[in-house]
């Protein structure tokens, strides 16, 4: 009996050793075997795609292996993340994730089966960017405090546009309403261009835009901005107050972000190498300037700090989704 048990244990140990050895060899040979695929959960031409191509090119140069972008659009980024989750964890498939499909999708959509916290390996934060709340021409409110006062006087009448139910922009305004104890009406859209048109045309009272879209509108005097969702004002539109300047919104910060991920169980040595190379890329003056030109700040930190950031963000969003009872249909 003891002999049989010892044989079984020895076989198991050998299999484990072989598995470890195979992973170690794969990690040692990486990335020599073939080009690296970088999944972008958006169509070509958008901000996430721009950042992925910028970072991918620089990573490829440092790794000595091309990084090929694979645009997998659909379901607000969920299809692209699904593909990454299902990929072999060998370091040859990465994904440029962002807040929607990584931190929010599973909370608001029962059909999303992956758990990004368990099924993806964080490599590093690539960029963070606040969003801007724009006002229609003629809106009496000129800042967030005045908007809140209007909403208290006219509960359920002021409208706000976002890029969809359960998006970070939607959650941002739900957090504002919860803090300020007011009620406004959500009008979901499919994208920023439609939001811009309807805010300018007065079809909605306010609308959230990313900084790249909001900045030229503000600087050219086409639309006024009520506030930016950062802890301090941003350089591109310095006259627009930060949300935190409004007493009831003090400490409230909402950022969109992009980050680099690998499928779960990717060898630690590969993840660490990618993290080091990503950090070097993000410190390049050219990369920093191009991200800033796009309205974003370069990310910093390690895989561990990025994982902690994601965990904290998910807890915040989970609480607001529950309290506001937000679900995508």
pLDDT (mean) for 215-230 = 95
With a cut of 70, say whether residue 4 has pLDDT above it. Answer: no
Report residue 114 CA to chain centroid gap. 16
Give phi and psi for 261, each to the nearest 5.
Answer: -135, 155
pLDDT of residue 328: 84
The beta-strand segments (E) located in 211-320 are 224-228, 255-263, 297-298
Ordered domains of the chain (ranges, CATH): 9-129+256-324 (3.40.190.150), 130-249 (3.40.190.10)
Helices (H) and strands (E) in the chain — how many of each? Answer: 13, 10
Window from 211-215, 243-247, 283-287 with minimum mean pLDDT: 211-215
CA distances from 155 to 90, 94, 149, 184 (A): 54, 46, 10, 7
What are 127's two structure tokens?
């960029």
Mean pLDDT for the stretch of residues 161-174: 93
Q: What is the mean pLDDT of the chain?
A: 91
Q: For residue range 26-58, list pLDDT tens digits in order.
A: 577 899 999 999 999 999 988 899 999 999 999
Which run of H or E residues covers position 277?
helix 268-282
> Which of the two residues, 3 and 145, has the higher pLDDT score?
145
**pLDDT tens-digit map of 171-215:** 999 999 999 999 999 999 987 889 999 999 999 999 999 888 899
Alpha-carbon distance 243 to 309, whole Å? Answer: 21
pLDDT, tens digit (0-9, with 9 covering 90-100), for 102-126: 999 999 999 999 999 999 999 999 9
**CB-based contacts of 295, cutoff 8 Å, min separation 6:** 129, 210, 211, 212, 215, 234, 236
Instruction: Give the tokens for residue 211.
Output: 């900084």
Name 287's Cβ contacts closer than 8 Å, sequence gap at least 6: 54, 55, 58, 281, 298
**CA atoms of 241 and 130, how far apart (whole Å):** 12
pLDDT of residue 46: 84
Asked if residue 31 has a cis previous peptide bond (ω within 30° of 0), the answer is: yes
User: CB-based burial of residue 251 (10 Å sphere; 0-12 exposed, 13-18 middle, 19+ buried)?
Assistant: exposed
pTM, entire model: 0.87
Question: Which two tokens mark 212?
Answer: 């790249």
Closest CA to 214 of 239, 231, 189, 232: 239
Q: Read off the pLDDT band of 138 (50, 70, 90).
A: very high
Share of the chain above pLDDT 70, in %: 92
- Residues 73 and 172: their CA atoms lie apart, in Å, by 24
| Residue 7: per-residue pLDDT | 52
């Amino acid at each position: 009996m003891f002999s049989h048990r010892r044989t079984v244990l020895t076989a198991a140990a050998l299999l484990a050793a072989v598995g470890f050895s195979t992973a170690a060899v794969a990690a040692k040979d990486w990335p020599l075997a073939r080009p690296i695929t970088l999944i972008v959960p958006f169509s070509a031409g958008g901000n996430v795609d721009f950042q992925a191509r910028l970072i991918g090119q620089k990573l490829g140069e440092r790794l000595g292996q091309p990084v090929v972008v694979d645009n997998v659009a659909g379901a607000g980024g969920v299809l692209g993340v699904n593909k990454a989750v299902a990929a072999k964890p060998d370091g040859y498939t990465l994904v440029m994730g962002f807040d929607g499909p990584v931190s929010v999708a599973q909370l608001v959509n029962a059909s999303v089966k992956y758990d990004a916290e368990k099924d993806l390996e964080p490599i590093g934060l690539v960029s963070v960017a606040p969003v801007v709340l724009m006002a229609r021409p003629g809106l009496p409110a000129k800042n967030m405090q005045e908007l809140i006062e209007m909403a208290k006087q006219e509960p359920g009448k002021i409208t706000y546009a976002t890029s969809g139910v359960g998006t970070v922009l939607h959650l941002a305004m739900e957090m504002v309403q919860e803090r300020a104890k007011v009620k406004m009406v959500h009008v979901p859209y499919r994208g920023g261009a439609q939001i811009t048109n309807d805010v300018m045309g007065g079809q909605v009272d306010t609308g959230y835009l990313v900084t790249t879209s909001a900045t030229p509108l503000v600087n050219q005097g086409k639309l006024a901005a009520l506030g930016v969702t950062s802890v301090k004002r941003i350089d591109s539109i310095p006259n627009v107050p930060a949300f935190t300047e409004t007493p009831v919104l003090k400490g409230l910060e909402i950022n969109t972000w992009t980050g680099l991920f690998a499928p779960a169980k990717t060898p630690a040595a590969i993840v660490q190498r990618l993290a080091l190379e990503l950090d070097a890329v993000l410190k390049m003056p050219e990369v920093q300037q191009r991200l800033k030109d796009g309205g974003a700040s370069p990310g910093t930190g390690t895989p561990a700090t990025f994982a902690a950031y994601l965990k904290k963000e998910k807890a915040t969003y989970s609480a607001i989704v529950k309290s506001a009872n937000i679900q995508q249909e």
